[in-house]
Structure 1
């Protein structure tokens, strides 16, 4: 996971304090003050973590994350907010938030949580020029994220955990919404096209991603 952060905070003084603290710990921080700018920033590049305040101009941090999750953006997200009611906290996690920090807080506490989140995602499986992070289901090709649909994401997880081993066809069928031999062939072809992986068919047995 890249050590880059998108920080959405409309309190300018707090935003600059957090940005400075994170940058002192070698994080690259993109700072925005409203929901629309956060949307634009998230489309311009990929980030390792989002830090979103909830009550911000244009759209709330919760609405923002909901839109990003609908767009299949799985970037880990920490909410920071003065809202302490259970409904707000519950909604923040329901839309896909990973952590929630109530204001006021010590800036160092946010840094501790960010460091922990990045540490969780450092475990990766590397294969040739690909790097796969099982915890976040993210695949990178030469440090650029590869966009995978739900089926391809499932296939990727299976093959990256079974490099050099033949995977039974029935296991791969579990990745499909309407399993059939024809559908599996189509799904595998799309997956190979997206990742440039050479997956071989072992006739009558299954498929294998051979060791590099």
Structure 2
């Protein structure tokens, strides 16, 4: 029998939390539901989850702080943030902390389930990939560990940074379409997601700047090209 996807779900609005938890269980998911960030973080110390679904505004420890602490020991398990906020800065912050996706409240159960299954599918694909490391110019890029190394100096990337760089590398010296990246890594090509992606491209340029032969070129209206 196929193993149920185990979700750590953290939401302080108990009425909403119970409705979502019951709905997910009825669809075959295994749910560990918590109402505050501290108890949820403790739960991660003794339980293994397939995915975390975290509200941003939580008592005792907010969702961003919870994700930051969790990423210190687990860099791969996907995280979805639930937020009523709409500012681009909040969305970007969530991705920088290692978030993989976000949903704005109110959301439909169908949309949440699609996002969960999509992230689980991408994780399985990543784990099955035989490519563990490669060279991006003079940098050694360890895909599994999410690190860039040059002259003994190691930079650890966030999950999202590593995924964007991997897509650029796989299409190196060719145009990588912006929409393709946004659809695969962010879920859609909305304005907020596009702004978030721009931030990640800027960060990758900074990380790779010590090799002057590397460029990430903006192809206006289309996407980006990694030149090596």
Q: Same fold (TM over 0.5)?
A: yes
Match of 1:52 in 2: 54
Match of 1:120 in 2: 122
Deviations 1:19-63 (A, max 9, x none): 122212211110000011111111111111000000000111001
Higher Cα Rg: structure 1 or 2?
1
Match of 2:103 in 1: 101
RMSD between superposed Cα atoms in Å: 3.1
Tell me if the contact between 1:2 and 1:47 (Cα under 8 Å) persists in the aligned partners: no
Match of 1:43 among 45, 50, 69: 45
Aligned residue runs from structure 1 range 119-138, under 5 A: 119-123=121-125, 132-134=127-129
Match of 2:31 among 29, 32, 47: 29
How many angstroms apart in 1 are the aligned matches of 2:6 and 2:45? 14
Aligned residue runs from structure 1 range 70-81, under 5 A: 70-81=72-83
Q: Secondary structure at the match of 2:58?
A: coil
Aligned residue runs from structure 1 range 180-199, under 5 A: none
Tell me if the contact between 1:155 and 1:175 (Cα under 8 Å) persists in the aligned partners: no
Deviation at 1:100, TM superposition (A): 0.8
Q: What are structure 1's unaligned runs of at least 5 residues?
A: 125-131, 138-153, 158-173, 180-212
Deviation at 1:156, TM superposition (A): 7.3
Q: Secondary structure at the match of 1:122?
A: helix
How many angstroms apart in 1 are the aligned matches of 2:35 and 2:100? 21
Deviation at 1:119, TM superposition (A): 2.2
Go from structure 1 to structure 2 and tell me whether the alpha carbon gap of 1:118 and 1:58 turns closer, same or farther (over 3 Å shift): same
Match of 1:187 in 2: none
Go from structure 1 to structure 2 and tell me whether the alpha carbon gap of 1:44 and 1:86 turns closer, same or farther (over 3 Å shift): same
Deviation at 1:123, TM superposition (A): 3.4
Tell me if the contact between 2:78 and 2:120 (Cα under 8 Å) persists in the aligned partners: no
* TM-score, normalisation: structure 2: 0.54
Deviations 1:100-144 (A, max 9, x none): 1001111221111112122223337xxxxxxx5449x9xxxxxxx
Displaced runs of 4 or more, over 2 A:
70-74, 119-124, 132-135, 154-157, 174-179
Match of 1:4 in 2: 6
Aligned residue runs from structure 1 range 78-97, under 5 A: 78-97=80-99
Go from structure 1 to structure 2 and tell me whether the alpha carbon gap of 1:109 and 1:44 turns closer, same or farther (over 3 Å shift): same
How many angstroms apart in 2 are the aligned matches of 1:177 and 1:21? 51
Deviation at 1:70, TM superposition (A): 2.2
Tell me if the contact between 2:10 and 2:55 (Cα under 8 Å) persists in the aligned partners: yes
Deviations 1:60-107 (A, max 9, x none): 100110111123443100000111111211111111100010011112
Tell me if the contact between 2:4 and 2:30 (Cα under 8 Å) persists in the aligned partners: no
